[in-house]
Structure 1
Amino acid sequence: MNVDKILAISGKPGLYELKLQTRTGFVAESLIDGKKITVGLRSNVSLLSEISMYTESGEKPLVEVMRAIAVKENEGVAPSSKEDNATLLAYFGAVVPDYDQDRVYVSDIKKVLNWYNILQAKGMVSKEEPKAEKAVAEEAAAEKPAKKAKAEKAEATEEKPKAAKKPKAKKSEE
């Protein structure tokens, strides 16, 4: 599931795909009706890849929550966000059993299910974690100690700055 260019824009329904970045903002295309809109820099915009849900053990990326829904529904349609609150809470509790019930509201659950259904209709959901994401995560974990050691070595061998030269005294004409 690749949601790197999928946006949620505050005050606008649905999800949008980032098409073009401009000097004054960007152009996005609605995943619902395909209309293109321009969005200014002052708009409150969130990338789906940057959103997380609260759990008892910390925060869980939205991509993982949607992947759990895809597994439960076998990549099918999730319950509608129009269902009654008790049904939605029970469903979400089955998908993410350790979600923080004090900080995750029914409105949040409705939004996630609505977003999932929009992405599912476009064929953008998957119950399998992409191999590229796994490889990148493992590679990043392996590189951190190497980069740290490299930085320490560079600091140790760094040359001391040279002393500033004193300006030459002008010869006085006599």
Structure 2
Amino acid sequence: MLKGILAISGQSGLFKLVAESKNNIIVESIETKKRLPVYSTAKVSALEDIAIYTYEGDTPLKEIFKAISEEEEGGPAISHKASGAELKSYFEKVLPDYDQDRVYTSDIKKVLLWYNTLQENQMLDFSEEEETDEDQSADKEK
């Protein structure tokens, strides 16, 4: 689900990986559909590699997105522009054991902005994840 979706430092929004070359990668903005080169000097984060600190360890972003989706019944989350107190209280409902000392309001804003961007562009599909879970349990039974 999050494979090939990137956040690039200094660029607003999310990007889809289109192509790779020796010196750069070509990405496409999810919102504007414009393509641009990103060079090796840019700080690029793959959403599938991002996790949020909890008291028990780390929770991958895709699990947080799934929890938000369940909370909102597939609809959009609250705006990332809501007040800090609103954002924290909302995030506590979605991820009750998040580490409040290490997860900042700015992190919560990014997670909600990314979720809403992907949700708006119909790029959140949790069914593939459930199938792989079922496939793995079926394999274990054999």
TM-score of the two chains, using structure 1 as the length reference: 0.75
SS in 2 for 1:69: helix
| Letter in structure 2 aligned against 1:54 | Y
Asked if 1:53 is matched to 2:52, the reply is: yes
- Cα deviation for residue 124 of structure 1 reads 1.2
| Letter in structure 1 aligned against 2:96 | P
| Letter in structure 2 aligned against 1:52 | A
Aligned residues of 1:75 and 1:126 also touching (Cα < 8 A): no
Which ranges in structure 1 are unaligned for 5 or more consecutive residues?
143-174
* Equivalence for 2:5: 6
Equivalent pairs counted in the alignment come to 140
- Cα deviation for residue 6 of structure 1 reads 0.1
SS in 2 for 1:7: strand
* Equivalence for 1:122: 121
| Letter in structure 1 aligned against 2:124 | V
Q: Distance in 1 between matches of 2:87 and 2:22?
A: 41
Q: Distance in 2 between matches of 1:57 and 1:27?
A: 37
Name the CA shift for 1:97/1:128 in 2 (closer, same or farther; >3 Å): farther
SS in 1 for 2:59: strand
Which ranges in structure 2 are unaligned for 5 or more consecutive residues?
none
Name the CA shift for 1:73/1:127 in 2 (closer, same or farther; >3 Å): farther
User: What CA RMSD, in Å, does the superposition of the two structures yield over aligned residues?
Assistant: 1.9
Asked if 1:102 is matched to 2:88, the reply is: no
SS in 2 for 1:19: strand
SS in 1 for 2:117: helix
Q: Distance in 1 between matches of 2:69 and 2:109?
A: 16
Asked if 1:73 is matched to 2:84, the reply is: no
- Cα deviation for residue 128 of structure 1 reads 4.5
Name the CA shift for 1:42/1:105 in 2 (closer, same or farther; >3 Å): same
- Cα deviation for residue 76 of structure 1 reads 0.3
Q: Distance in 2 between matches of 1:94 and 1:75?
A: 16
TM-score of the two chains, using structure 2 as the length reference: 0.91
- Cα deviation for residue 129 of structure 1 reads 5.8
Q: Distance in 2 between matches of 1:100 and 1:56?
A: 5
- Cα deviation for residue 23 of structure 1 reads 1.1
- Cα deviation for residue 125 of structure 1 reads 1.6
Question: Percent of aligned pairs with the same residue?
Answer: 42
SS in 1 for 2:53: strand
For 1:1-174, what aligned pairs fall within 5 Å after superposition?
2-128=1-127, 130-134=129-133
